[in-house]
Structure 1
């Protein structure tokens, strides 16, 4: 048993995105001995690149499972091309318009009804709605990815969100009406953006410059957090999940008695500083280690070619490095992580991200 995970280089300029292709099973054998899974497909033009990647490197037109982590354009827009060009057997995607029961009571406008909110969600999340309809027309099995859902092999499992947590996030999705009470998570205002300044940071080994107080949007926290366990090795894909969502996922990992060795984690939200804190990072991959120690974990951030300094944040990369992770960043180029897989011509080994002793960041 082996696996091959490809992080495609989404974002030729400054806008980062996610498109992950993976396969597992007997990778030295026939196609029926393997399972092919896609997690997101970046922007619309990324979809065609992903289709070609699957055909070229996985040697197939059939995808066993497609997972849409959440309906942000840098994750979902390329999936329509994937569903049209490849033979997809199953799609995991949240359908929030099916979760509007008694939701109208959450908002200040008393004229709203559950039915009207369902239509509002379809309009606001048009890409997800259209993708679900496309899958239904093509006879693709559609499931909502809540905690505990597994694929047919039992190797792929959803760690989060739970259905109840997901439903609690819906009223705070972008474009929803005003809440009856003030939202606990506010988006960054135009004034906050105008007042941002660049500050020079000097780092010392083991000193984290990230906080447990970071907050991201409700839509980001609704991201599907996916686990793959193959041959006693655990891989975790976080999409744009934030600290609270990752805490729930950490609970799932801690309750898992498989004994699988943690080998790969996707750095959340392209390395954003708002999505990860030291406490949850300790729970996910372990406490800080002595300088030069490797824990056996690889951490990969999907970022655009010119996404820095926002994506990735050097403080976030350092925090993973403090815990012994081998940190890699796509910067618009593809990265493959593998175990017991055939060699691939034209691909070469990457050096880990250096520890950043000094760096500039917007604050």
Structure 2
């Protein structure tokens, strides 16, 4: 059994996004011996690239499963084209407007109701609502990807979020009324931007366990794929809190398959990973020159730096033995037991960064 995992290039300028196309099974056999999966579709114009990629490289116009990790435009907008132009058997996405029971009690304004909150979520998450409506129109079954959901192929399962954790996050989504207990969110703080020179030496993690990302990002679907004794994890924009919950599931998994591919969350943002959760998922840091058989990929825009990716994040994955790749607006494919592709060549791993400029 083989696989192809394609991180499709998103962001020809400075805005990063995610679009991943996956094929696994007998890749030398017929379509019925293979499973095709799409995780996110990038911006609207990327949807056509995803469609073209699947037709050209996977030789099919049928997708077994589409997963929308969360409703940010750089992840969800292109999926409309995927659903319109390909035959999609199943869509996994969260439906926050259906999790509105008792939600009105969470807010200061006593005039809001559970129904009005549900309608507000449809309005504020317009692209998610329209994608759901399109799926219904095309009779595509929709399932919510909470912890433990698995695909009929037997190779895919969801590590996070749990339904209860997801429902904790909804009241904090953008566009919601003021909560009864308003929490200061460090990720919303506005500070003056100033570049500074950073110096590092091998093994020094310049990321921290107190990083905070938005509730919507923490609602990202975290997907595990195990093929031919190799484990892969796709993280969307999940932050430390969400990844820590997923690590609980990761550690409890009875399948001993070692981790071979991991998506660096949120395009390599520094607030999404910390040393503790990386140690749980990847293993403890190694000595300089040591490596694990592990590929870590950050999907970033061509001109996304210094924000996407952060050099400190890339170094942290390198410390733990990963071979780190960055898309920078171009496609990257990792494959095993798969036909060779004409015109595709090996990508040089990211060098270790001893100095860089950072905001």
The alpha carbon displacement at 1:188 in A equals: 2.2
User: 2:158 aligns to what?
Assistant: 158
- Which of 280, 284, 288 is residue 285 of structure 2 equivalent to? 288
Partner of 1:131, secondary structure, is helix
> CA–CA distance in 1 between the matches of 2:185 and 2:90?
33
- C-alpha distance after superposition, 1:54-78 (max 9, x if no partner): 0000000000000000000000000
Instruction: State the aligned residue count.
Output: 359
Partner of 1:44, secondary structure, is coil
> CA–CA distance in 1 between the matches of 2:116 and 2:186?
24
User: 2:302 aligns to what?
Assistant: 305
> CA–CA distance in 1 between the matches of 2:258 and 2:186?
37
User: 1:335 aligns to what?
Assistant: 332
The alpha carbon displacement at 1:186 in A equals: 4.5
The alpha carbon displacement at 1:184 in A equals: 5.3
> CA–CA distance in 2 between the matches of 1:317 and 1:176?
34
The question of 1:234 aligning with 2:255 is answered no
Partner of 1:10, secondary structure, is coil
The alpha carbon displacement at 1:351 in A equals: 1.2
Cα-Cα RMSD: 0.7
User: 1:322 aligns to what?
Assistant: 319
> CA–CA distance in 1 between the matches of 2:50 and 2:315?
30
- C-alpha distance after superposition, 1:97-128 (max 9, x if no partner): 00000000000000010000000000000100
> CA–CA distance in 2 between the matches of 1:41 and 1:184?
32
User: 1:99 aligns to what?
Assistant: 99
- Which of 196, 202, 213 is residue 199 of structure 1 equivalent to? 196
State how 1:72-111 maps to structure 2 within 5 Å.
72-111=72-111
Q: Is contact 1:172–1:183 with CA below 8 Å preserved after alignment?
A: no
> CA–CA distance in 2 between the matches of 1:143 and 1:188?
32
Q: Is contact 1:220–1:240 with CA below 8 Å preserved after alignment?
A: yes
The question of 1:49 aligning with 2:46 is answered no
State how 1:340-355 maps to structure 2 within 5 Å.
340-355=337-352
The alpha carbon displacement at 1:261 in A equals: 1.4
> CA–CA distance in 2 between the matches of 1:201 and 1:184?
28
Partner of 2:45, secondary structure, is helix
Partner of 1:204, secondary structure, is coil
> CA–CA distance in 2 between the matches of 1:236 and 1:4?
14
User: 2:13 aligns to what?
Assistant: 13
- C-alpha distance after superposition, 1:7-29 (max 9, x if no partner): 01100000000000001000111
Show structure 1 runs of 5+ residues with no match.
none
Partner of 1:254, secondary structure, is helix
> CA–CA distance in 1 between the matches of 2:176 and 2:139?
31
User: 2:144 aligns to what?
Assistant: 144
User: 1:69 aligns to what?
Assistant: 69
> CA–CA distance in 2 between the matches of 1:185 and 1:219?
13
> CA–CA distance in 2 between the matches of 1:217 and 1:184?
12
State how 1:214-233 maps to structure 2 within 5 Å.
214-233=211-230
Partner of 2:188, secondary structure, is coil
Q: Is contact 2:36–2:63 with CA below 8 Å preserved after alignment?
A: yes
- C-alpha distance after superposition, 1:291-315 (max 9, x if no partner): 1111111000000000000000000
